[in-house]
Structure 1
Amino acid sequence: MASSNFIDYVKINCRSGKGGAGSRHFRRAKHTPLGGPDGGDGGRGGHIILRGNSQLWTLLHLKYTKHVIAEPGQGGSSSNCTGAQGKDVIIEVPLGTVAKDAETEEVRVEITEHGQEFVLTRGGRGGLGNLHFTTSTHQAPQHAQPGEPGIDEWVILELKVLADVGLVGFPNAGKSTLLSVVSAAKPAIADYPFTTITPNLGVVGYHDFQSFVIADIPGIIEGASEGKGLGIRFLRHIERNSILLFLIPADSEDVQHDYQILLSELEEYNPELLDKTRILAISKSDLMDKDMEKSIKKRLPKNVPHIFISAATMHNIDALKDMLWKALHEPVAQ
């Protein structure tokens, strides 16, 4: 099986540069044979820096990068000259990337804006030259500081897809089919579960050249929050979506029951997900008649807007776009 181009998790070893040593030099010239100390400071070691890049959508470029090493700083020299700083290493990452300490899993930063920079692993400070250690009673110090060592650490980078709308549903609910008809995205589509094993993004064109982004999240199964199926590996992508569009097929045995299972899995994973705006779409509505639609409507949750759609016949697809656009742009209640 060909490897996926979508990589949302990498673990890398970061080694920042060692600081340069301070100089113990004394000024010596033809007419000043016993000049005072003029040793310069050492240069700072190179940092390892994360930078947001809106043109990236995966961590694929870091898949085979196990070690990132920054340059050491240069030592100070005579005439109070500071050594050159070690060259920083810039790691460009897609928006939505979270950096964690690999040992404690403490979140260090979340990159959410293009051009945003964060010093992930700081380089060691350069040592002070002997000029800094002169006193009224000690005019010729022989001491200068060594540079601070760099930091050697393992860091986890996780990507949480940034999208306006996240599609939530069981495998084979029709999420990929819906994405393919409302956008130019071409996700894999087949009549069996887990066709989608990586998130797919699609840009949905709207009126007056406006648009919004939909993310097709791999299907959730009961127990996903405990690691079953694809587990929590893809649940984290839902955290970044402004709206959750629940998709349940019309041929489901119990739409209300399926909706509650999906809701429970999200709550188990992160209760804050329930604070997001929700819309319920009943897919594959071309498979039912009016009586079946009325029967299903009676059992739908009262507090969630719903719509019956069919990607095959394009029934209510434009109406769904209108619902999503309105939900994305209506003012948030205070």
Structure 2
Amino acid sequence: MAESNFVDYVKIYCRSGKGGRGSTHMRRAKYVPNGGPDGGDGGRGGHVILRGNRNYWTLLHLRYDRHIMAGHGESGSKNRSFGKDGEDKVIEVPCGTVVYNAETGEYICDVTEHGQEVILLKGGRGGLGNWHFKTATRQAPRFAQPGEPMQEMTVIMELKLLADVGLVGFPNAGKSTLLSAVSSAKPKIANYPFTTMEPNLGIVSYREGKSFVMADIPGIIEGASEGRGLGLRFLRHIERNSLLLFMVPADSDDITKEYNILLNELKNFNPEMLDKQRVLAITKCDMLDQELMDEIEPTLPQDVPHVFISAISGLGINVLKDILWEELNKESNKIEGKIESIAHRPKDMSHLKEELADEGEDEDLSIEYVDEDDIEDLEDFEYEEEDWEDDKQ
């Protein structure tokens, strides 16, 4: 089976550049006795920078470029010439990317806007040349500062989809069918039971050219917050949604019970999700008549708006759009105000091996590099061509 192009989880090794060393040059020119020190400063090492790019939808481009290294700063030279700064390395990421330290699980940064730049690792400062250390009593200093060392870190990048409405429900609740009915998205739909394997986004058209974004994630099962099924891996995609649309089939034994199970899974995963506005949709209602709907309605949760819908016959779809649009445009429910208020918890590293095993990324990404400045005798140092090719890969 072909591997999916939707990649929302990568682990990469990043390294900034080291600063160039300062020069200890002494000026020597004809007819200039006692020229004095004129060694220039070293250049700054390159930064590793994250930049939000709305043209990217996944982290697929980083799966095959998992060693990000910025350039080193050059050393200073004579005539107080500064060394060249190392080249910055810019990593383009989709909006909604969260970065964690792969060793400790600590939250590092969050990129949510197009063009937003975050310096992930700073390059080392260049060392000062010897002309900075000239004094009245030390007119010929023969020393200079070395450049600051580089920084390195292995990071985990997670993509959390930015959408207005997130669909929450058990497998086969009709989430993908609804998304295909109200938008141009084409998720897989069939007449046999299965669950979506990757999130899908669709733009839902509303009146007068207005629209909003709807996200469909794989079905949640009881115990998903503890790692069962696919729920733990994809629950993070609805953390950024402004509104949650719970979907329960009309043929369920107890609609309220299923709704409470879903709500409890979200609470266990992230208690802040309970602060989001919720709407309940009872799906597959083309099999019900008005009398049955009237009997079911008193048993439904009274604390959330509810609507009976059928994506096949179109029953209640326009009513559902009206409810969603009204809830989305409440002042207390704007997604712009909620992005910055998200509290990113440290990543639970106990699940790291399982997630990386699913992606085939459980190998060690760290690389040891040899600095020529630290080698006393380069003639005794041999670097095999095969090893060099391996490091480049």
TM-score by length of 1: 0.97
SS in 2 for 1:240: coil
Verify the 8 A CA contact 1:26 1:39 in the aligned structure 2: yes
1:239-318 alignment, distance < 5 Å:
239-318=239-318
Return the alpha-carbon distance in structure 1 between the equivalents of residues 229 and 173 of structure 2. Answer: 16
Contact kept, 8 Å, 2:219 with 2:231, in 1: the verdict is no
Across the two proteins, how many residue pairs are aligned to each other?
A: 333
Q: Deviations over 1:258-297 (max 9, x none)?
A: 0000000000001100000000000111011223212221
- Aligned-pair distance for 1:203? 0.6
Shift of 1:34: 1.7
The answer as to 2:183 corresponding to 1:183 is yes
Counting helix residues as a fraction of each chain, which structure ranks higher? 2
**Alpha-carbon distance in 2 for matches of 1:65, 1:74:** 25
SS at match of 1:185: coil
Q: Does 1:154 align with 2:141?
A: no
Q: Say whether the 8 Å CA contact 1:172–1:191 is kept in structure 2.
A: no
Distance in 2, matches of 1:204 and 1:231, equals 24
Q: Secondary structure at the match of 2:263?
A: helix
Tell me how far apart the structure 1 counterparts of residues 272 and 153 of structure 2 sit (CA, whole Å): 31
- The amino acid across from 1:163 in the alignment is A
Is residue 164–residue 328 contact of structure 1 (8 Å, CA) maintained in 2? yes
State the one-letter code of the partner of 1:166: G
Task: Give the Cα–Cα distance (whole angstroms) in 2 for the partners of residues 172 and 261 of structure 1.
Answer: 16
Supply the RMSD in Å over aligned alpha carbons.
1.2
Alpha-carbon contact 1:123-1:151 (below 8 Å) kept = yes
Alignment of 1:26-65 (within 5 A): 26-65=26-65
Q: How does 1:12-161 map to 2 (within 5 A)?
A: 12-161=12-161
SS in 1 for 2:239: helix
The AA in structure 2 aligned to 1:241 is: N
Measured after TM superposition, the shift of residue 192 of structure 1 is: 4.3
How far off its partner does 1:191 sit? 3.7
Give 1:169 shift: 0.3
Cα deviation code 1:49-105 (max 9, x no counterpart): 100001111001111222111111111111211111111111100010001111111
Q: Distance in 2 between matches of 1:251 and 1:187?
A: 23
Q: Using the TM superposition, name which of 287-296 and 92-101 deviates more.
A: 287-296
Question: Unaligned 5+ residue runs, structure 1?
Answer: none
> How far 1:194 sits from its partner (Å)?
4.3
On the 8 A contact 2:164/2:214 being kept in 1, the answer is yes
Return the alpha-carbon distance in structure 1 between the equivalents of residues 48 and 66 of structure 2: 14
How far has the Cα of 1:244 moved from its partner?
0.2
Query: Is 1:194–1:218's contact at 8 Å kept on the other side of the alignment?
Result: no
Q: Is the 8 A contact 1:36 1:139 kept in 2?
A: yes
2:218 and 2:231 in contact (8 A); partners too: no
Q: Tell me the TM-score normalised to structure 2 length.
A: 0.83
SS state at 2:331 partner: coil
Contact 1:188 1:195 (C-alpha < 8 Å) held by counterparts: no
Mapped to 2, the partners of 1:330 and 1:240 lie a distance apart of 16
What SS does structure 1 have at the residue aligned with 2:51? strand
Residue 172 of structure 1 contacts residue 194 of structure 1 at CA under 8 Å; is this kept in 2? yes
Provide the residue aligned with 2:204 in structure 1. 204
Unaligned runs of 5+ in 2: 334-393
State the identity as a percent: 64
CA distance change for structure 1 residues 194 and 139 in 2, over 3 Å: closer, same or farther? farther
CA distance in 2, matches of 1:210, 1:78: 64
